[in-house]
Amino acid sequence: MDRDFLIDLFSDFGPVTIRRMFSGFGISADGTNFALALRSGLYFRADDATIPQFEAEGSKPFQYQTRAKTVTVNSYWELPARLFDDSEELAGWARAALAAAQRAAVKKRPKARKAKKMVTGQAVPKKKKAAKKSKNKAPDKRSSS
């Protein structure tokens, strides 16, 4: 799949950004990556809400082989081949994939950090622990001149 083919494929969905990624392309909209176009096919982002739709079509999650094992990436599922001929339905699947990617991004957001104690409007720095002195260490016998 080349860049022009992908732009045409997503024409009913709307504008997408296509960037080189791995051995293919990452496809995003509104700054959110929702699809991968790789040598092995086109994969859309999926989650608990959308995976049943992929399963009903007989699709499989993205997999790749390492030296030791086959790794399954359950968050990206192969787009059913029939959708390559139906750009309107593909646009619906793309919207669902974008929504799944946005839900995943919300889950990933870091929790707010606790605020530092304030004293007269200024943050109080943490105290540094003093270095422990060894009790068995002989006193410094340097002479002073």
Q: One-letter amino acid identity for 91?
A: A
Give CA–CA dist 14/29, Å, rounded. Answer: 8
pLDDT block averages, 10 residues each, the chain of length 145: 90 94 90 92 96 96 93 95 93 97 83 57 59 57 55
Residue 59 inside a domain? The answer is yes
pLDDT the model gives residue 62: 94
- pLDDT tens by residue, 121-133: 565 555 556 555 5
**3-state SS track over the chain:** CCHHHHHHHCCCCCCCEEEEECCEEEEEECCEEEEEEECCEEEEECCCCCHHHHHHCCCCEEEEECCCCEEEEEEEEECCHHHHHCHHHHHHHHHHHHHHHHHHHHHHCCCCCCCCCEECCEECCCCCCCCCCCCCCCCCCCCCC
Structural domain harbouring 38: 3-108
Residue 125 inside a domain? The answer is no
Residue 28 inside a domain? The answer is yes
pLDDT the model gives residue 40: 79
pLDDT the model gives residue 132: 59
Residue 57 inside a domain? The answer is yes
Query: What pTM value is reported for the model?
Result: 0.72
| Domains in the chain, number | 1
Query: Contact 79/59 with Cβ under 8 angstroms?
Result: yes
Residue 34 inside a domain? The answer is yes
